[in-house]
């Protein structure tokens, strides 16, 4: 039987535990909780279903990075293979993880803010009136700024 791949969004529940095999390979284990929702047409609102618990395992660099990056309560996006379903839990061998940006900002090593980011910001100059143009209509219209190319790109 081929493994079942899945993509899910869940909240880290508890601490991430990392251990090393005799060969020095990192392996971590953590819990993700996902609460699916369902539309109730009669009440015209969404309601939560029973939470699903995923017991996640990650290996090597992913395990080390997960142990450094994840903490209780962080929402993550996970891609992995379901390896078992036992005792109301789904066992997931994680292939990739990402922090959800829906409720937080994440910085990478190359995108850390400079020390200047902590300085107080001077008041910005008063906005200049923009040239008036007739408003665009239609669902597929993109604003003019969307079509402009960025001035510079990051190295």
pLDDT tens across 62-120, in order? 999 999 999 999 999 999 999 999 988 899 999 999 999 988 888 777 777 666 666 66
Asked whether residue 155 is domain-assigned, the answer is: no
The total domain count for the chain is 1
Distance between CA atoms of residues 80 and 60, nearest Å:
15
Q: Is residue 79 within 8 Å of residue 5, measured between CB atoms?
A: yes
Is residue 79 assigned to a domain? yes
Could you tell me which of 50, 62, 51 has the C-alpha nearest to residue 13? 51
* Domain presence at residue 32: yes
Compute, in degrees rounded to 10, the torsion defined by CA atoms 125, 155, 69, 62. 160
- Give yes or no for residue 133 having a pLDDT over 70: no
With respect to residue 88, please indicate whether it lies within any of the assigned structural domains.
yes
* pLDDT tens digits along 109-129: 777 766 666 666 666 666 666
pLDDT category, 22, cuts 50, 70, 90? very high
The pTM of this model reads 0.67
Residue 6 backbone phi and psi in degrees, to 5 = -150, 155
Q: What 8-state DSSP symbol labels residue 102?
A: S
């Amino acid at each position: 039987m081929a493994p079942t791949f899945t993509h899910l969004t869940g909240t880290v529940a508890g601490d991430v535990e990392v251990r090393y095999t005799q060969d020095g390979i990192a392996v971590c284990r953590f819990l993700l909780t996902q609460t699916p929702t369902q539309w109730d047409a009669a009440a015209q609102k969404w309601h939560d279903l029973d939470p699903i618990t995923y017991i996640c395992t990650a290996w090597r660099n992913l395990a080390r990075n997960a142990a450094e990056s994840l903490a209780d309560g962080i929402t993550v996006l996970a891609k992995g293979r379901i390896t078992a379903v036992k005792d109301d839990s789904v066992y997931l061998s994680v292939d990739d993880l990402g922090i959800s940006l829906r409720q937080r900002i994440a910085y990478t090593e190359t995108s850390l803010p400079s020390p200047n980011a902590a300085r107080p910001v001077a008041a910005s100059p008063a906005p200049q009136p923009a040239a008036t143009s007739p408003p665009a209509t239609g669902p597929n219209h993109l604003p003019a700024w969307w079509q402009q190319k960025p001035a510079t790109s990051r190295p």
